[in-house]
Amino acid sequence: MQSPLFEQANLEVQVEQRFALQNPQMLRVHLGGDVLAVKGAMVAYQGSIRFDHEKAGSVSKMFKKVVTGEDVSLMRVSGEGEVFFASAAGFVFLVQLDGDGISFNARNLLAFDSSIEWDIQRVQGAGMLSGGLFNTTLQGTGTAAIHTVGQPVVLDCSTQPTYVDVQACVGWSANLVPQVVSSMNVRSMVRGGSGEAFQYAFHGRGFVIVQPSEWSTPSTGGGGGFSLGGLLDG
């Protein structure tokens, strides 16, 4: 059988690294220890692999998931073999943590080493008008994989204040403490708004990752709300 489909660029990569890019839009993980991945991110696997729902791990974290609406629905992937992850053909990037931390929008997470600690943090200054804004923080040592809608840009926040649309913000270095600011004014609100109501404001040593696309705001308003189903989901 002959086809450009079988060219080397489309064949499975053979590398020794645990986390590797199969191509710019697909992650390949060679299991040698458990991996936590966003539910629904697995697109293929080879070998003897098991997928289990990953509970929050603590009552505090469980209630944060329910009340904030930060939808970190994770599964634990274990066994022997290779697993392929992807999400909506987004571009995949690997981040190596060496005892430091990074904060991500949960929608941009793909998978990470189970040795990495994760938690949900409220963004300072995000009140009810903005719907409440929360991010997922990863801390420790290991590899994390994220995906972005389009090719992202990484901005240095140390030289001048940097403002990023909250729906286009992928993540930032955990040492930064962003504020939520509003560009709305009364005249703009009366006329229907500008479409650019809230931004994260960063200034300090660190970086922020921005994708060239904005996530749509959930119909619930993005601020969560108590859900018995979410509580039972853990």
* Ramachandran region, residue 222 (left: φ > 0; alpha: ψ -120 to 50; beta: rest): left
d(CA 46, CA 153): 34
- In tens, the pLDDT along 5-60 reads 999 889 998 888 999 999 999 999 999 899 999 999 999 999 999 999 998 654 44
- Residue 147's nearest CA partner among 37, 33, 44 is 37
Q: Is the dihedral angle over the CA atoms 103, 109, 110, 111 positive or is it negative?
A: positive
Helices (H) and strands (E) in the chain, counts: 3, 15
Give the strands of the sheet with 179-182, arranged side by side: 162-165, 198-202, 179-182
User: Are the CB atoms for 85 and 42 separated by under 8 Å?
Assistant: yes
Q: Tell me what pLDDT residue 28 has.
A: 97
37 vs 185: which has the higher pLDDT: 37
The pLDDT confidence band at residue 222, using thresholds 50, 70 and 90, is very low
Rounded average pLDDT over 93-115: 95
pLDDT over 70, % of the chain: 75
Rounded average pLDDT over 150-168: 95
Q: Where do the H-state alpha helices sit in 3-110?
A: 59-68
Backbone angles phi, psi at 17, to 5 degrees: -65, 145
Residue owning tokens 């993005």: 222
Rounded average pLDDT over 86-94: 97
d(CA 81, CA 222): 37
Q: Tell me what pLDDT residue 58 has.
A: 47
Whether the predicted pLDDT of 158 surpasses 90: yes
DSSP assignments along 33-52, one per residue:
S-EEEETT-EEEEEEEEEEE
Q: Tell me what pLDDT residue 198 has.
A: 85
The pLDDT confidence band at residue 231, using thresholds 50, 70 and 90, is very low
Strands (DSSP E) found in 24-128: 26-31, 35-38, 42-54, 74-85, 91-104, 109-113, 117-122
Tell me the one-letter amino acid at 79. G
pLDDT over 90, % of the chain: 61
- May I ask the CATH class of domain 13-215? alpha beta
Whether the predicted pLDDT of 89 surpasses 50: yes
User: Are the CB atoms for 154 and 83 separated by under 8 Å?
Assistant: no
The pLDDT confidence band at residue 190, using thresholds 50, 70 and 90, is very low
For residue 138, the tally of other CB atoms under 10 A from its CB is 24
The pLDDT confidence band at residue 184, using thresholds 50, 70 and 90, is low
The pLDDT confidence band at residue 217, using thresholds 50, 70 and 90, is low
What residue ranges do the domains of the chain occupy? 13-215
Rounded average pLDDT over 71-91: 93
Q: Which pair of structure tokens corresponds to residue 26?
A: 């697909």
User: Are the CB atoms for 208 and 155 separated by under 8 Å?
Assistant: yes
Whether the predicted pLDDT of 173 surpasses 90: yes
Average pLDDT of the residues of the chain: 82
